Chain A
Amino acid sequence: MGLENSDIEIDHRHIFHAAPILFLVLKPNPPKYTILDATDAYCAATQTKRSEIINRGLFEVLPDNPADMNATGVSNLRMSLNSVVEKKQPHKMHIQKYDIQVTTENGICFEERFWNPKNSPVLDQKNEVLYIIHHVEDVTASVSMQNEIEKKSKLIEENDARINLILNALLKFTTLDFSERLKTTDKGDELDAIVVGLNSVIDELENHIQLLKNSNINLEYANKELDSFSYSVSHDLRAPLRAINGYSQVLMEDYGNKLDEDGKKTINTIIKNAFKMGALIDDLLTFSRVGKQDLKKVTLSMNSIVDSIIREFTNQEQKNTIEFIVKNLDDVEGDSSMIKQVFTNLISNAAKYSGKKEKAIIEIGSHKEKENIVYYVKDNGAGFDMKYYNKLFGVFQRLHSSSEFEGTGVGLALAQRIIKKHSGEVWAEAEVDKGACFYFSIPIKY
């Protein structure tokens, strides 16, 4: 306070107080370090009043946060100040956590603060330390932002790891391996919700798969029963039939000359019917066998299949009375012998039911329809009444009497069973005396 090298009177103390920096002037009297002065900015940042801190020891005014067991603010600052007193050199400290006391509604408590302090000695002419200037900046905002960023990136890393675990588990689940369950964390966040949801889906899925397995076992058992049933049917029913047929024949051969016409006719009826029953049993067994068989899929040349069937046909008497029109047929994947069976049944049906026409015409063709290839066998024969369509594909169902047209009533049912096994459909259109057209479709890829 007075004139120095200038005419202008300057109130240094006032200027010091008003300087927009955080300064504290300390007495170099360890371990107390008495506070001699402070800028307004410092008082504001530490929420202190100059009048209340002047002449008090630094660490009395600014103690460590008793709630922070790891607080190092006091000890680090003391070390720095000690070194300034000893070495008479400025000392710049690393960023320090040094909480301050604030007065709130609930009384006095500590608030987290970060600082980057620098302590510098003020020396006299004898190079003795007169004061220590303690200069700090409040870096709490940038430190907490940094902390926030670190926390977030750590969280992202953690979540990435958790997502990876979930993805790995999903990959396992796709192979129906449910040996492990995902674990939730104590976070209770969206990922945990996904894990909980996924686990319950897996539980449910596992339950259902177990149920399916059980019913599969039952089905297998039922299949085996059916298998042994058809085995004994085929064996045990055929044997007595053979005897009926055979011994009727023996009777005819050995005693035929002792029988009159009626007697011979009676025996022939027995033979014919035993034969027919044999055919029925055979057809029924073929029908049940198709149900059991696995498909052996290959690409089929439909034209060569149809041609071979027709060649076998034209060896017989129908040779001259049937005209076959075979279009260019689309090829498809399927079981060769089964599809041949379908065509054989449809073509022989067509031949049978048009047998009474003077000139029978049987047309076989195909076309693409959406994802399927549709094949048809069309004749100009007896046809049938669409009224009875629902009986057409039933086993042992016939729309014509045996005296009219021979047959066991298994052919179409068998065809339908085979096509269903190929994931296709069978259907027909017909009109009495104008012919029938049978269709079947097979998916191009199934």
Chain B
Amino acid sequence: MENTIHNIEIILVEDSLEDANLVIRSLKRNNLSNSITHLKDGAEALDFIFAKGEYGDRKIEDKPKLILLDLKMPKVDGLQVLRALKTDERTQSIPVVIMTSSREDRDLVESYKLGVNGYVVKPVSFENFAKAVAELGMFWLMINQSPR
């Protein structure tokens, strides 16, 4: 079961391929890259998580251990994805960490209202960025206990 396609560990929802590669690189560096799935926008994320469209053969019950969610994305933005996740009983227990470019109070407040599990501002410096990603992955994959 461990490393099959049905046992996704981390979902990264990020429209910027460049940022996504940096995140994946940081996770890899810390051996946290067992199973990362990169989804390119909110719409794809919703299809994947709720097993619709091109991900119709998935099962909603195959929950990832962590969703890293960008806020500003085309089509469906991060807050909309978060709302969908946290208002659905089947998915509300999945830990979601917002990773965004800027600290905007209104986004922060809205995210926590919706029940986000973490909110991280991506630092400009790669070193800090890598460290933040690594710590995040470490905490949610190794330390935190989620209901299954």
Contacts and interface: CB of A to CB of B under 8 A. Distances in A.
Interface of A: 231, 234-236, 238-239, 241-243, 245-250, 271, 274-275, 277-279, 285, 289
Contacts of A236: 101
Contacts of A235: 72, 100-102
Contact of A242 (B25, B103, B105, B129): B129
A289 B106 CA distance: 12
B126 A238 contact: no
**Closest 8 A-B residue pairs measured CB to CB?**
A278-B124, A234-B102, A249-B126, A246-B126, A243-B18, A235-B101, A246-B22, A238-B101
A242 B127 contact: no
Nearest to B71: A235
Q: Is the interface of A mostly helix, strand, loop or mixed?
A: helix
A275 B125 contact: yes
B60 to A, nearest CB: 31
Given A231-B102, A246-B129, A285-B102, A241 B18 contact: no
Interface string B64-104: 00000000100000000000000000000000000011111
Contacts of A271: 125-126
Contacts of A250: 22, 25, 126
A239 B129 CA distance: 12
B16 interface: yes
B110 interface: no
B102 A242 contact: no
A239 B104 contact: no
B126 A234 contact: no
A239 B127 contact: no
B123 to A, nearest CB: 8
Nearest to B102: A234
Contact of A239 (B19, B25, B103, B125): B19
B124 A275 contact: yes
Interface residues of B, number: 19
A234 B124 contact: no
B102 A241 contact: no
Task: Name which of B22, B102, B122 has the most chain A CB atoms within 10 A of its CB.
Answer: B102
Contacts of B124: 238, 241-242, 245, 274-275, 277-279
A286 to B, nearest CB: 10
A432 to B, nearest CB: 34
Given A246-B18, A246-B22, A247-B18, A239 B126 contact: no
Nearest to B121: A238
Contacts of A231: 102, 104
B121 to A, nearest CB: 9
B104 A234 contact: yes
B128 to A, nearest CB: 9
Given A235-B100, A242-B18, 17 more contacts: A234-B101, A235-B101, A238-B122, A239-B19, A242-B129, A243-B16, A243-B18, A243-B19, A245-B124, A246-B22, A247-B18, A248-B126, A249-B126, A250-B22, A278-B123, A278-B124, A279-B124
Task: Name which of A235, A239, A243, A277 has the most chain B CB atoms within 10 A of its CB.
Answer: A239
A249 B25 CA distance: 11
A16 to B, nearest CB: 109
21 contacts: A231-B102, A231-B104, A234-B103, A235-B100, A235-B102, A238-B122, A238-B124, A239-B16, A241-B124, A243-B18, A245-B124, A246-B18, A246-B126, A249-B127, A250-B22, A271-B125, A275-B125, A278-B123, A278-B124, A278-B125, A279-B124
B76 to A, nearest CB: 17
A247 to B, nearest CB: 7
A266 B129 CA distance: 21
Nearest to B103: A234
A272 to B, nearest CB: 10
Contacts of B104: 231, 234
A313 B101 CA distance: 28
A242 B19 contact: yes
Interface string B118-142: 0000111111010000000000000
A235 B99 CA distance: 12
Contacts of B129: 242, 246
Contacts of B103: 234
B73 to A, nearest CB: 11
Contacts of A247: 18, 22
B133 to A, nearest CB: 11
A245 B125 contact: yes
Interface in B14-68: 16, 18-19, 22, 25
Contacts of A285: 102
